[in-house]
Structure 1
Amino acid sequence: MARESFAIGNVRVRAGSAKEVELPITRLVTGGDVTLPVRVIHGREPGPVIWVNAAIHGDEVLGVEVIRRVMAGLDPKSLRGTLVAVPVVNVLGFMTGDRYLPDRRDLNRSFPGSARGSLASRIAHLFMTEVVSKCELGIDLHTAADRRDNYPQIRADLDDPVTHRLALAFGAPVMVHAKIRDGSLRQAGLDVGARVLLYEAGMAMRFDEEPIRVGVEGVRRVLVQLDMLDCPPELIDPPYVEECRTSGWVRARGTGILHLEVNLGAEVSAGQRLGGLSDTFGRRVRLVHADRSGVVIGLTRAPIVNAGDALVHIAQ
C-alpha cells in the first residue's frame, strides 16, 4: 500500500515528494502577511518523522545554511520517513538581524506557547502544533550569543539512552549533558514525547565553514542512524566525540582589554593561564586562569570586558 500523505497547515504532501508550506503568523502594520516557511520532504518509504530547525534566535544564521545544504542532498523518492525543515523560526527577528522578537521576548523561553498569548507565545504555539506534535525527534540548530563563539557541540539529555546514541551519532567534537531550561523548545518537546538534540556552533550573524560542515554531516549522520538514509562513503568512519557532564564559564575578576591565549577546542588544566586583562596603556592589570580542567567550548569575542563578564566556557 502507498504511504499516506503528510498533513501540515492546510495542505497535504504526497509520499515521495517535497513541498514548501507557508504557515500564517501575523500581519505587519503595512498589511503584509508574515508566515513561517516550512519544507516537508515526505519519503516514499515509511520511517521516522523528524524536524530540523534554525534561527529560533533571529541572529543565528549559521543553522539556516546547514539546513539548506542538508535539503539539497535529499531525494524524497529514496528517503525513508519524513523530514520537516524549518530554516527560520523567528522570522521577524531574522529580517532585522535581531536575536529577539519585536516585543523583546526570547522565543526559546516562550514554549509551548499559547494561541492567544504574546507574539512569541503564538509563534511557539504554531511551531508546537504544526511541527513538533507530528515528530518524534528534533534537531535544534543554534549559534553563540552576540560577541561569543561556540565550539561545535551537541547539548542534550545524555542520561536517556536513545538521546545519547543519537548525540553520539551526530558526531560533533563534544557532546554535553545539559539541563533543560523552562520555556525552551527542548523542554516543550520532551513534554509531548519528542527528543531534541541542540547543536551549538559558531557566532551570530556569521557563516563559518567548519561549524557548517560539522552541522551538515551531523544531521545526515542522525538520518543514517535512524535508517532514513543509506550511509554515504564519506560518513562511514565515525568521528571521535568527547562526552562532558558539566560546564561553566570563567568570569573576569576585573575590568580591562582582554587578550586570550586559548582557542576553541583546546584542552586546559585547572590553574592554567588563559589570558589577561590590560588597561588602555597596555599595562597588565589581571591574569585569567582556568577554574577547572576540560575542553574550551565557548569564548567571548568582546575585546573590552567588565568584572563578572563571561570569558571562557570550559566543559569537563
Structure 2
Amino acid sequence: MTDASDTQQWFGTDLGPGQSVNTEIEVTESYSGRNIAIPIQVRRGLRPGPTVFVSAALHGDELNGTGAIRTLIGDDSWTLDSGTLLMIPVLNLLGFERHSRYLPDRRDLNRCFPGSAGGSMASRLAKVIFDSVVARCDYGIDLHTAAVRRTNFPNVRANLDQDECLRLATAFGCGILLHGIGPKGSLRREATNLGCPTIVVEGGEVWKVESSVAECMTRGVLNVMKELGMMQGEPILPDSQVMIRETKWLRAERGGFMSMHCAPGDSVEKGQAIATNSSLLAEDQNRLEAPFSGIIIGMTTLPAVQPGEPVVHVGRLANTKSVRRHAKQVAGDDVQRTAHEHLATNIQVTTPTEE
C-alpha cells in the first residue's frame, strides 16, 4: 500500500499524486552497445492504494494483451483514483521485434524468473524486470495468448488456493478460472512466491489483436482495479464462473486432416464427438471423443496433424449440469458471448457423421 502524499520515483522520473508519465526500463544492450529499453506508462491516483503491474507480450508474439493495454492507455473515460498502476504493453521487446515467442538466444523469458545478474541474457533481463517492477508491486496481471498454431477461449490462470490470487482471478470476470501455480521460473509463480499475487490471462492467437479477446482483457483489468478500490464502481462479472483443476490435451491418434466438431469455449459432455481425423480423400476415419464433461479451453488452428500432436484442450467439469450452466453463462455475458462467436469463426466446425 503506497502513501499517495509522497513523491515516488519510477525509472528515474519523480511522480506525484495524480500524475502519469511515459517512461522506460533499460534492460540490456544491443550488439552495437546501445541501450534497449521497455516502454512503460506509470499512473498514480490521488489517494493511497496498492501498486499493480499489467504486462503483455512476455512471449513476444502474443499481442492481444498488447492491444488491450494500448486501449487502456489511450482511453480517457476511466480514472485511477488511488494507488499506482504500471502498464507495460510489451515485456519481451527483443522477441517482439523479431515476431518471436522467444529471445534471440532461443530462451523462454517466462521460464527465467526471478533471474540472475550473472546468468544468460534471458536471466539478466528477467532479473531487471523482476527487481524493478515485480518487487515494487502488490499485485500483477500478465496477459497472454495461446502458442503458435493454437487458440484459447479467454480464461484466467492462477494459484487459486492463494486467497489474493483467487480474489483477482474472480474479479477479472472470465467465466473460466484454471487452477495452477505455473511452471518453475514463470513470472506468475515467482511473483506470487515473492508476495505479489499475480494472475495470467490467456485468450486468442499469436501475431494479432482480436477485438473480442482484447475487450475481455480490458474489462478484466478495469474489474480488478475496481475490486482493489483503485477505481470507482463494481466489477462487471458473469452470472457464474467455473473453477477447473483438471485438464487434458486430446492428441491425434493418426495422421491426416482434422474436422472439428467444437469451438473454443464450447461446453461438451463425456463421450461427445470432438474431432474426426481422416485422409485427404476423407477415408479411414478416426474420432476423438470427450474423456469427461467439460469446456473446450483451447485447440489447434492447424487441421493437418500427425500422431501424438495436440488437438483440443479440455477442462473437466463436475457433471452435465455444470456443462449446461457454463453454456448459459457464456450466452448471458455480452463480452464472453462475442469472444465465443468470433473465435468460432476461425475454426471450421462441422457436424459429425454417423459411424
TM-score, reference length from structure 2: 0.84
Q: 2:4·2:83 contact (CA, 8 Å) conserved in 1?
A: no
How many residue pairs get aligned? The number is: 314
Deviates most, 162-171 or 95-104: 162-171
Shift of 1:28: 2.1
Q: 1:300 maps to what in 2?
A: 300
Gaps of 5+ in 2: 317-355
Q: CA deviation at 1:58?
A: 0.5
Query: Hey, what's the Cα distance between the residues in 2 that align with 1:78 and 1:26?
Result: 31
Structural mapping, 1:1-316, within 5 Å:
3-73=5-75, 78-231=80-233, 236=236, 238-316=238-316
Which amino acid is 1:240 matched to?
S
Q: Contact 1:171–1:239 at 8 Å: present in 2 too?
A: no
- Aligned-pair identity (%): 36
Q: Distance in 1 between matches of 2:196 and 2:283?
A: 53
In structure 1, how many angstroms separate the alpha carbons of the residues matched to 2:4 and 2:122? Answer: 39
Assess if the C-alpha contact under 8 Å between 1:18 and 1:76 holds in 2.
no
State the AA in 2 paired with 1:268: V
| Cα offset, 1:180, TM superposition | 2.4
Alpha-carbon RMSD across the aligned residues, in angstroms, is: 1.8
Indicate if the aligned counterparts of 1:106 and 1:120 stay in contact, CA closer than 8 A.
yes
Q: Specify every segment of 5 or more residues in structure 1 that has no aligned partner in the other structure, as ranges.
A: none
Higher strand proportion (structure 1 or 2)? 1
Comparing 146-155 with 7-16, greater Cα deviation is found at 7-16
In structure 2, C-alpha distance between the alignment counterparts of 1:77 and 1:66, rounded to whole Å: 16
Q: How many Å separate the matches in 1 of 2:184 and 2:156?
A: 19
Structure 1 distance, partners of 2:103, 2:117, is 17
| TM-fit CA distance, 1:90 | 0.6
- SS of residue matched to 2:69: helix
CA distance in 2, matches of 1:109, 1:196: 15
Q: CA deviation at 1:197?
A: 0.8
1:89-131 Cα offsets, whole Å, 9 max, x none, are 1101101110000000000000000122111111110111110
Structure 1 residue matching 2:285: 3-state secondary structure: strand
What TM-score results when the alignment is normalised by the length of structure 1?
0.94
